[in-house]
Chain A
């Protein structure tokens, strides 16, 4: 499915804070509130959830600071009140319920890479040629198509190669998964 997110370009949002040339990365942290979020009561991951982008990725026109979906305000389970959407990366990069943003000089350690570094990295670009250690990423099934549809080939950068491939020229995407 194609999700109709409602948001503003992250570039515009971040520009207000006038990051200087030392700002190489943006680090996002989510709310830590086990009372409201029962899933945080067990340390399945090292809460609060943390994610990051390079400054170039954050400034790309596709990166959105999202506040709504389907024309309505974002529901809690979709990451209210504000969440990130980075459509050319795997879903875990699109951190929900952001309540802290930092510009950093060094690459932030994102939650999934901390808990399973062999399986999840910082870049997490959608890439059919780079398998997860335990399963393939070469094919996908479109959400909403039901039980009896075929899988389709996964597209490099989730189909957004034209808009984002230039960010990674010269970067070995197999090592930097």
Chain B
């Protein structure tokens, strides 16, 4: 089957959509206690944590599309990037909702105090706010309207990723191994873009000489 065909793309989009909902489905099973599954002894923390991690997972997968395209030549992979980006926004929004609704029970003053006084939460909320314009401008219509400005706007995802991983790192009590792994992967994904950018400018210098 030609994976780049229109037909394959429709099928793969449905498959990817369903697969992207699996983490949420598993979470729901844990919440409902189906088959003995639970969220553990500290369910509120586990809920917030799980949603945040999946948000970061989707963010890193989204950022991996461009390097994988370049290295494999499978340029049609870009068709799935929007869905992956929107699932990132989806999980991060749920993560924020689990924090404000389940944990803080919509107590605006304690949420506000957290956002102002706890730097790691300030970073997290900033990252979420920056995700909004990206989600809003994700449609084909918006891409047409914004033209070259769309690309520049969506470079914000690099800032969001750094803020997100920093938020994770700063939230951990002591064992920084997991956030450091995420930071390492992010460094590779961002480093790839730096390498590509410097490669093309080195090329231009060489040709000019």
**Chain A contact residues, CB within 8 Å of chain B:** 42, 44-45, 112, 115-116, 134-136, 139, 141, 143-144, 146-148, 150-151
Contact = CB atoms under 8 A, between A and B. Distances in A.
Interface stretch (B1-9, B13-21, B39-47, B199-207): B39-47
A130 to B, nearest CB: 14
B39 A147 contact: yes
Looking at A44, A45, A116, the one whose CB has the most chain B CB atoms below 10 A away is A44
Contacts of A112: 174
Contacts of B114: 135-136
Chain B interface mostly: helix
Given A134-B171, A148-B102, 18 more contacts: A42-B175, A44-B174, A45-B174, A112-B174, A115-B174, A134-B118, A134-B119, A135-B114, A136-B117, A139-B110, A141-B44, A143-B41, A146-B43, A147-B102, A150-B105, A151-B103, A151-B104, A151-B105
Contacts of B113: 136
Interface size class of B (residues with CB under 8 A): 20 to 34
Interface of B: 31, 39, 41-44, 47, 102-105, 110, 113-114, 117-120, 170-171, 174-175, 177
B177 to A, nearest CB: 7
Nearest to B170: A134
Contacts of A136: 110, 113-114, 117-118
20 contacts: A42-B175, A42-B177, A44-B174, A44-B175, A45-B174, A115-B174, A134-B119, A134-B120, A134-B170, A136-B113, A136-B118, A141-B44, A146-B43, A147-B39, A147-B44, A147-B47, A147-B102, A148-B102, A150-B105, A151-B103
A45 to B, nearest CB: 7
Nearest to B31: A147
A143 B41 CA distance: 7
A134 B121 CA distance: 9
B174 A116 contact: yes
A42 B170 CA distance: 20
Contacts of A42: 175, 177
A29 to B, nearest CB: 19
B93 to A, nearest CB: 18
Contacts of A135: 114, 118
Contacts of B120: 134
B118 A143 contact: no
